[in-house]
Amino acid sequence: MPDRHLLRVKEFSRKHDWPEGSLRYLIYNAFPRKLSDGSIQPGNGFAPAIRKVHMTPGKRPTVFIDEPKFFEIVDEDHARQLEAIGL
């Protein structure tokens, strides 16, 4: 099993000085979802770094961010952007 370092959103935000609202936006848009017109909105690519755990039945899940995977995705996206502009 790969080494995991899971942090709650607030913990991740504090540790990396990343705005919590920005993280929640990435989490909300991480997974594909069906729109009202029936089309599918693809996810933003961050789904592999997000873990939703139902700690208490009947309540919203606790959201964790897989810290190494998150930055792996950020680095891959950055490399794609550089490649797209020829750098």
Which parts of the chain sit beneath pLDDT 70?
1-3
Q: What is the DSSP string of the chain?
A: -----EEEHHHHHHHHT--HHHHHHHHHTSS-EE-TTS-EEPP-S-GGGEEEE--STTSPPEEEEEHHHHHHHHHHHHHHHHHHTT-
Q: What's the confidence (pLDDT) of residue 55?
A: 85
Name the residue with tokens 């939703």.
Answer: 52
Please state whether the predicted TM-score (pTM) of the whole model is above 0.95. no
